[in-house]
A and B are shown apart, each in its own frame.
Chain A
């Protein structure tokens, strides 16, 4: 598969949030301010990239030779969780500035659907190493893009005069529906 069409497809056409409905918890929870959206997006990019590389290596170097492919789910979730804890530890010790900016989002990423989805997807689609790198950078960039756009809309929505039943998350979900409608127009572009 061409690398550019893989990248563009993962960011825009098959966006993880709007076409596959993953990462909805951060979308509704963290998207109230633009600065927190960018922080969350950056943290997710880093965690997905790191844990994709580790889980890919672990799957093909340890699980397949030992014939333990059925342990993939447990392995992946434990590696993701350990990686997140490790990153938080390193940030706490060596970079308080980065910890101040990104630290609060790190524990939330452990149970984020997108991370586990990308690591599983790399295996079930049988990507080569380079394709895995491209996809595990493209999918969280797509997530960050949608999160950022969503937060800019939501900042204005919080100041608008919304009916009482729709205040907060319901009106945000209707905005998400409209964004999904816009993003489906990209199908068939490449």
Chain B
């Protein structure tokens, strides 16, 4: 039983670490707005959904829409 909890905690921590590292690295130049070309489905947890982007990208898209 203790084995299972330690194993689950280790695996969860590893995934959280990789997710956080990925979330922190910015996209390479030229790719900041590729999610604007998607928009196929309404999955909120998809990394391309507007609710998941960095705030600067959100602002630039909003400015583009308003202009």
Contact = CB atoms under 8 A, between A and B. Distances in A.
A75 interface: yes
Contact of B34 (A29, A86, A103): A103
Interface residues of B, number: 30
The main secondary structure of chain A at its interface with chain B is helix
Interface in A90-120: 92-93, 96, 99-100, 103-104, 106-108, 111
Given A30-B40, A103-B31, A89 B8 contact: no
Contacts, number: 78
A117 B31 CA distance: 31
B46 interface: yes
Given A82-B19, A107-B45, 16 more contacts: A25-B41, A25-B43, A68-B4, A71-B8, A74-B8, A78-B12, A79-B11, A82-B14, A82-B18, A85-B18, A88-B47, A89-B22, A100-B30, A104-B34, A111-B43, A111-B45
Q: Which 6 A-B pairs have the closest CB atoms?
A: A107-B47, A96-B28, A29-B40, A82-B15, A89-B22, A85-B22
